[in-house]
Amino acid sequence: MGIHALDTARFLMGDPQPVSVYARLGTHYTEVDVDDTGVMIVNWDNDAVSYLESGWWQPHMDGPEAATQLYGTAGFGQIFPTRLLLPHPGQAEIEKVDPGFPPVREPHCPQSMYDTQMAYFLDCVRLG
C-alpha cells in the first residue's frame, strides 16, 4: 500500500528525487501474515519532506483509503475529502476553493471491483 502513497506524493511534487528515507513496518493490530501499519519519512532534493502512513489495516487513520494531504507555504490541499485552502500574502483571509465534490464520497475501491477482476481472471484461465 505504501508505494501508492509514495508515488502520489512524488507526482504531486513534480517528481523530486529522494535524499534520505526512514521507514518502519509492523504488524500491531491484527493476527495476519502481512504488515498492518507502516510509516515513511522521505526527504526530497527539493527540500520537501513527506510523511506517509500505510498498511492493510490501521484503526486510527484520518481518512478513507488513499487520503492525501499536501501543504506548504503556498497553501493546503487534501483528497478525500477534497479541499483547497490558499493563503494570500499580507492578508489574514484564506481562500477556500470549492472543488465541486461533495464533502464525503463513497469508497472508491468497493469489494465488487475485486470480485469482478477475479471473475474475469478465472474466465481467462478457463478459456485458455
Domain ranges of the chain: 1-61, 64-128
pTM over 0.75: no
Phi then psi for residue 54, to 5 deg, are: -155, 170
List the grid coordinates of 126. Answer: 478457463
Amino acid at 118: M
User: In this predicted structure, what is the pLDDT of residue 30?
Assistant: 81
Distances (CA, A) of 11 to 2, 14, 80, 95, 113: 14, 5, 17, 24, 25
Mean pLDDT, the chain, integer = 84
What proportion of the chain, given as a percentage, has pLDDT over 70?
A: 86
The string of pLDDT tens digits covering residues 66-99 is 678 888 888 888 877 788 889 888 888 888 988 8
**Residue 46 to residue 81: CA distance in whole angstroms:** 27
